[in-house]
Amino acid sequence: MKNTEIDMIGLYMKEISSKPLLTKMDEIHYSRKYLRGDN
């Protein structure tokens, strides 16, 4: 795993924790978006 990927996951986790009401589909959508780097 590259450092940029780790940074992206960290940002993603921060975003998720600030929005606890996301549905499962939202989580899947956002995780795919972040992993592709389309933010």
Range 10-34 average pLDDT? 77
Region 15-20: mean pLDDT is 69
Residue type, 35: L
Q: What is the pTM of this model?
A: 0.33
| pLDDT at residue 6, as a whole number | 81
How far is 26 from 31, CA to CA, in rounded Å?
Answer: 8
Q: Pick the residue with more confidence: 3 or 1? A: 3
22 touches 29 (CB < 8 A)? no
